[in-house]
Amino acid sequence: MRVFCRSDGLGATGRDMNERTRRSRAVEDYLKAIYKLQQEHGQVPTTLLAAELSRSPASVTNMVKGLAAQDLVSHVPYYGVRLSPAGEAAALGIIRRHRVIETYLIERLGYTWDGVHVEAEWLEHAASDTLVDRMAAALGDPATDPHGAPIPRPDGSIAQRDLPSLTDLPVGTTAVIREVADDDAERLRFLGGIGFLLGTEVTVVAVSDTDGVVVAQVAGRPHRLSQELAAAIRLEPS
């Protein structure tokens, strides 16, 4: 009896099998979280990683040791953790799958921008890289996801941007929304409901010296945003 391997891209490819079959969802979640925190803080303290993942410091330390044994991270006790080149490549692959899936769910299946993150969190661990590449090609290989975040390319590269948040802009500044953090559906629903969508022009009217509340105007109407809400919005000054 002859056994045939699929070559139509619908089964797992050599790339997927070699890189992913032995990686658990937990490992992928850790790599993605480390990448995110590394962009913000450089070396990532394990206490910060524990808070990000809602895990105990002890369990995080044990996982980090395992990642280091796989050469996915470098870890200096009491100082922090950083992704190795292999770990960063793996993290960017996970992020690519997540962002392409989000885009496909919205563009092809009618999801809303506040309803795709949780779905993509599950699907990113199951979809093969080949399937994701085909989804991206069907969408015209978009550069950004529905929340404005850059989508890593198949070769592992990613566009680097340094967009200020709404909390960084001085009063009187007018800017265009280019990215909104996607990890809180309620926040996305609220911002979408008051018109804070990608491509929208925003003018900073006032900033509170006491609690950081930002008053920002959209379409001639002012809105009060907490510091947390304002920090989730990244803009390009116009």
Count of other CB atoms within 10 angstroms of residue 76: 10
Q: Taken in order 84, 89, 93, 96, is the CA torsion positive or negative?
A: positive
pLDDT at residue 9, as a whole number = 41
- How sure is the predictor about 238, in pLDDT bands with cuts at 50, 70 and 90? confident
Whole-angstrom CA distances from 16 to 11, 19, 127 are: 9, 5, 10
Asked if CATH classification 3.40.50.300 holds for the domain at 1-160, the reply, yes or no, is no
How far is residue 23's CA from residue 1's CA, in Å, rounded to a whole number? Answer: 32
For residue 7, pLDDT over 80 is answered with no
For residue 226, pLDDT over 60 is answered with yes
- pLDDT, one tens digit per residue, over 144-186 is 999 999 999 999 999 988 999 999 999 999 999 999 999 899 9
- pLDDT, one tens digit per residue, over 52-66 is 999 999 999 999 999
Instruction: Give the pTM.
Output: 0.87
- What are the sequence ranges of the domains in the chain? 1-160, 166-237
How far is residue 149's CA from residue 159's CA, in Å, rounded to a whole number? Answer: 10
- How sure is the predictor about 51, in pLDDT bands with cuts at 50, 70 and 90? very high
pLDDT at residue 88, as a whole number = 97
Q: Would you state the structure tokens that stand for residue 203, as one six-digit string?
A: 């003018």
- How sure is the predictor about 77, in pLDDT bands with cuts at 50, 70 and 90? confident
Contact 30, 36 (CB under 8 A): no
pLDDT at residue 78, as a whole number = 85
Domain 166-237 class, CATH top level: mainly beta
- List 121's β-bridge partners, or say none: none
For residue 45, pLDDT over 90 is answered with yes
pLDDT at residue 116, as a whole number = 95
- How sure is the predictor about 229, in pLDDT bands with cuts at 50, 70 and 90? very high
Whole-angstrom CA distances from 125 to 36, 95, 96, 128, 132 are: 17, 10, 11, 8, 11
- pLDDT, one tens digit per residue, over 90-147 is 999 999 999 999 999 999 999 999 999 999 999 999 999 999 999 999 999 999 999 9
- How sure is the predictor about 20, in pLDDT bands with cuts at 50, 70 and 90? low
How far is residue 137's CA from residue 116's CA, in Å, rounded to a whole number? Answer: 19
Contact 63, 30 (CB under 8 A): yes
203 versus 8: the higher-pLDDT residue is: 203
pLDDT at residue 19, as a whole number = 52
**Got the DSSP string for the chain?**
---PPP-SSSS--HHHHHHHTT--HHHHHHHHHHHHHHHHHSSB-HHHHHHHHT--HHHHHHHHHHHHHTTSEEEETTTEEEE-HHHHHHHHHHHHHHHHHHHHHHHHH---TTSSHHHHHHHTTTS-HHHHHHHHHHTT--SB-TTSPBPPPTTS------PPBGGGSPTT-EEEEEEE--S-HHHHHHHHHTT--TT-EEEEEEE-TTT--EEEEETTEEEEE-HHHHHTEEEEE-
